Amino acid sequence: MREVRLIDENGEQVGIITTRDALDMAHDRDLDLVEVAPNASPPVCRLMDYGKYRYEQTKKEREARKNQKQVELKEIRMQPRTDTHDLQVKVNNARRFLEEGHKVKFSVRFRGREITHPEIGRDMLEQIAEDLRDHGVLEQKPTLEGRAYSLIMAPSPSKTQQPAKRSDKPAPPSPSLGDIDFDAEDEDQQAG
């Protein structure tokens, strides 16, 4: 008969007993016998409500996932013929995505004979990376993948670690025109 080191439902050691006695004890207390350290000599088992334990574990995992920030990869597609104004609109959208904490993938897709001038796409991507240098870091340099040049930018570490500080204190009121005493200013000018 195999022996196990038993820990009861309160976390106290019962001692080394046979497996049959441990199973009987678990059955009497309406609990499960769970092996927690199978490689120990003798193996360590614990009396617990395994269903309740699994429920609490999944609840903790759900809470951890809820508090976790999900980083999305936003893709912005362009062509070598994309005009400068349209390009600026796309850069502004990318800037907003980076400030929200998302990664941004820029793709310049070549159609037909456009692929004969890949330097146009590379230059566009390098210009975009330069424009967004203060909002993100270059994670993947411009690379040619099939018929598309692509580059990936990630948010700056300093921007993502420090959320915008909001003070609970109200801002001091700025003086309005009604609060300024114009007569006192006139007296100062006349005296001087």
Residues of the chain by 3-state class (helix, strand, coil), percent to 5: 40, 30, 30
Q: Which pLDDT band, with edges at 50, 70 and 90, does 173 fall under?
A: low
Please list the residues that pair with 51 across neighbouring strands.
Answer: none
Does residue 46 register a pLDDT over 70? yes
pLDDT in tens, 102-145: 999 999 999 999 889 889 999 999 999 998 888 889 888 888 88
Phi/psi at 141 (5° precision): -65, 160
Residue 45, pLDDT above cutoff 90: yes
Positions of E strands within the chain: 3-7, 13-18, 32-37, 44-48, 73-78, 103-109, 136-145, 148-155
Two tokens at 117?
Answer: 């001038």
Domains of the chain: 3-66 (3.10.20.80), 73-161 (3.30.110.10)
Amino acid 72 reads: E
**Residue 39 above 80 pLDDT?**
yes
- Which of these ranges, 37-51, 66-80, 163-177, has the smallest mean pLDDT? 163-177
The pLDDT of residue 49: 92
